[in-house]
Structure 1
C-alpha cells in the first residue's frame, strides 16, 4: 500500500503564527483532505486554537488565511464551513433565535461538542427544559430538518426541530428517556430493541440518500496509521486487502427479518438507515427499550450493513476505552448479542474500518498501545468475525454502575455531519 504523505499542517501554521509555540490537538478527515487543530501559545499573549484545513471544500466566505494551493488556516470559532458558529460561540445567535420563536432562555448556552468543518452542538437551558442547538454547514440545514420531519411522520422517536435558520443553526427538543450511555440495560434486551428500531427506520418515509459509508474513509485511516505507526505498514497493507475484499462481498448478508430488509443487494441499497448508529445516539425508557434516537444528520436511503458495522465498531472501541472491566464486558456482550444476527464478511470488513478510525483517534492522542489493540481487533474481525474485548481482558460477573459505563464511553461516531 503506497503511503501518500499528508500536508505538513504544523509547517503551514507556522507560516502564519511565526515563532509562537504550537501543539497539535486534533486531526480528522474532511472533504478530500484533513483538518488539523492546534493550540497556539504566543509568548506574553493569549492562547488560541487554530485549524489547518486542506479539504478544498467550497465555502461562502473565507474567515482566515488561504494559501495559493487552497490550504486554509483559521482561528476558532471562525470556521468557514460553519458560518453560524462564531455568533453562537459568543452566545447571541441561539438566544435571539429562540426568543423570536417564543422560547425563554434562562442561562447561557454551553458548547458540548465541536467537530471542525462539520458541526457543533450546544446545550441550551430554557424554562421548557433543555433544548439542543446544532450548527451545521448551511447547505445541510434544510436536509436535516427534512430528515427529522420525515422520521417523526413515520413514527420514529426522534426530537422535533423547534426552529432553524438557513445559515446552519437548528434548535431541537431533547430526546425522550435516559441516555443509554448513562443508564442500566441488559445486552440482549438492548440488542433486540436496536434491531426493532432499525426495522422501523427501514420503513420510514425518508427519500434523501444517506451519507457516504465508512468505506469511503478507509484509505485515509490506513494512510494515517501507516504514517503514525510505520512498523505496522506491512500488516496494515495486508489488512487493507482483506477489508477491500470483504467490503466487495454482497451476497453473504445475514439479517434478522425484524430489521425490515432482505438479503438482495438492491434491497440493501434501498432501505433507510441512520448513517451513524451507535449507543451514544440512543435513549432508553425504564424497561431498557429504545425511546429516543438522535443525530439523524446522515440518515437516508442506504446500506443497512453500514449501520450494523457502526454499532459493532463503536461498541468494541468503547470497550477498549472503558477502564472498568465489568463495563467493558457489558459492551462486548452487547456487541455479541447484536452480532448474532448481523454478521457476514461485508459487515465484518466495515466494522474493521470503524475500528481503524478509532485507532487513528487514539494514536493521535498518544495512546499507541490502545491503537495497536484496535488494529489487532480489526484484523480478527475481518479474518474470522471475532467479537471480543480489543484489550483481551477476561470477563467479569460484577454488574457495572452507570458511572463505570459512561465515564470513558465514546458518544460520537467518526462522521456525523
Structure 2
C-alpha cells in the first residue's frame, strides 16, 4: 500500500489540520463543525492544491450538510477568507461562494435564476435546480427545470465565458451538434440548451457498443469546421504526462519511480510527432458523446476545441474506454465490446503506434482520478490504471501488433 504523502500542501488540506481550516471559516459566521469528509482533491505540484469537503455544521437554526473548499499556495490569493502561517496561504470558502467563480451563487438560488431566465425571455415559473457538477475554482454546471423549459447554467471563470460562448456559436453555425448557447454574462455564466439523446457512457451500460456504425466517431470529428484549427492551441492530455506522474507520486510515493519512468517514455515518444494543425475536439470520450437511435446525437463541453492531431482525440477515447472496461463500472462490458470493435477501425485513422502512445499518456492522466475523487480503495485503483497505461505503452512499442496487443485486449 502506498505510504502517506510527503507534499506539505497536500498533507495540509487532507490531514489533521482540516478541522482547524474549516473552523476558521465557520466560527466568524456562527457555525460549529460537527464532522467532515474529504470530497475531492486537485493537486498541482509546485503550484497550488485545492480540496473540497462535505461537512456537517451546526448553525443557530439547526444542523445542515454543507460543501466547503480550500486552496493552499505560496502567494496570497485575492478574495475570500485567507489564513497564513507566513509561508503558505490557505483560502477557504463555503459553496456556492467560490472566489474564482463569482457567478456561481447566482446560479444556485431560484430567485436569481428566475431573474436570469426573465432576462432571456423565458418563463421562470416553477424553477427547480440541481447541481450537476462542481470543480472548485474551475467550473460548475447547474440543471434548471421550469414548467416549460429545461436548460443548463454553466459557470466558468469570467475571463473564459466570452470565448466559450463564441466556440459554441461557431460549431452550431457549422452544423456540429453541440448545446446551443442562449446567452452569457460578465460574471462567468453561460446558459445552454440541452442535447438530444443519452451520454455514450450510460448507453454502454446495456453491454453493447451503442453505435450502429463506429465510423460515426470519425465522421463526427470530420464535421469540426476549419475555424477550429485557428483557435489558440491547447496541449493534449498526453503531453502532460510528467505533470500527472508528479500528481500520482505525491499521493502515492511508492508509485513515484514507476510513473516517472512511464511518463518519460511517453514524452520521449511524442517528441517524434509535430503538434498538428487539424481541427480537434480536445476531450473526446464517452461522457462527452451523446447517442440516440444508434447514432451520435451531440457533443458536450466544447471548451477544449482547437488545433492538434486526430490521434489526440482518438487516443483520448480509447484510454477512457480501457479504464471503463477494466474498472468496477456498470458500463464495463459495453466498453470492452466497444474497444474490441472500434480499435481496428481507429487504428486505420492514425499511426497505430502513435495512437497507443497517446492512449498511454491519457490513461496516466486518468490514474489521478481515484485519488482526486477520493474513491474507496483509491490506492489499488490508481495502481491498476498505471498498469493499464503500461499495457498501452507496450502495445505502442509493438506497433499495435503481436503479444503486447493481445495482452492489451484481454481486458477483464
TM-score by length of structure 2 reads 0.79
In 1: Cα distance, 2:331 partner to 2:192 partner? 33
2:39 is the alignment partner of 1:25? yes
Structure 2 match to 1:370: 381
2:393 is aligned with 1:382: yes
Number of the residue aligned with 1:103: 122
What runs of 5+ residues in structure 1 fail to find an aligned partner? 251-264, 395-417
Shift of residue 392 of structure 1? Answer: 5.4
Aligned equivalent of 1:356: 364
1:48 aligns with 2:62: no
- Give, in whole Å, the separation in 2 of the partners of 1:388 and 1:22: 45
Aligned to 1:193: 216
Look up the match of 1:297: 303
Alignment equivalent of 2:314, drawn from 277, 293, 308: 308
2:56 is the counterpart of 1:37: no
Select 1:9's aligned residue among 8, 13, 22: 13
Deviates more, 1:142-151 or 1:167-176: 167-176
Please say if residues 75 and 89 of structure 2, whose CA atoms lie closer than 8 Å, have aligned partners that are also in contact.
Answer: no
Q: Within 2, Cα distance between the matches of 1:201 and 1:99?
A: 33
Q: How many Å apart are 1:147 and its aligned residue?
A: 0.2
Among candidates 267, 273, 281, match of residue 280 of structure 2: 273
Determine if contact 1:273/1:300 at 8 Å carries over to the other structure: yes
Residue 291 of structure 2, aligned match among 276, 281, 284: 284
Cα distance change on mapping 1:100 and 1:227 into 2, 3 Å: closer
Q: Are the equivalent residues in 1 in contact too, given 2:198–2:291 (CA < 8 A)? A: yes
| CA RMSD in angstroms, aligned pairs only | 3.2
Contact 1:315/1:332 (CA < 8 Å) preserved in 2? yes
Contact preservation (8 Å) 2:229, 2:308: no
Give the superposition deviation at 1:314. Answer: 1.3
Query: Within 5 A, what are the aligned runs for 1:15-414?
Result: 15-18=20-23, 21-29=35-43, 32-41=47-56, 46-54=64-72, 62-67=79-84, 69-105=88-124, 106-183=126-203, 186=209, 189-201=212-224, 203-204=226-227, 207-215=230-238, 217-250=240-273, 265=274, 269-286=276-293, 288-321=294-327, 322-323=329-330, 326-333=333-340, 336-337=343-344, 339-341=346-348, 342-363=350-371, 364-365=374-375, 366-385=377-396, 393=411
Give the CA deviation at 1:85.
0.8
* Cα 1:4/1:153, change in 2 over 3 Å: farther
Q: Answer yes or no: is the 8 Å Cα contact 1:355–1:374 preserved in 2.
A: yes
Aligned-pair distance for 1:171?
0.9
8 Å contact from structure 2 (residues 134, 141) kept in 1: yes
Task: Specify whether residues 41 and 225 from structure 1 end up closer, same or farther in structure 2 by C-alpha distance, changes over 3 A only.
Answer: same
SS in 2 for 1:54: strand
> The residue matched to 2:128 in structure 1 has which SS?
coil
Change (3 A) 1:195 1:324: closer
**1:162 aligned counterpart, secondary structure:** strand
Could you say what secondary structure the match of 2:320 adopts? helix
For the Cα contact (< 8 Å) 2:209–2:338, is it kept in 1? no
* CA shift for structure 1 position 26: 0.9
Tell me how far apart the structure 2 counterparts of residues 347 and 202 of structure 1 sit (CA, whole Å).
23
Task: Normalising by structure 1, report the TM-score.
Answer: 0.78
Separation in 2, partners of 1:49, 1:158: 31
- SS of residue matched to 2:187: coil
Aligned length: 374
The Cα offsets for residues 269-292 of structure 1, whole Å up to 9 and x where unpaired, read as: 322211211121122232x22221
Q: Which runs of 5+ in 2 are unaligned?
A: 24-32, 397-403
How many Å apart are 1:58 and its aligned residue? 9.5
1:389 positional shift: 9.2
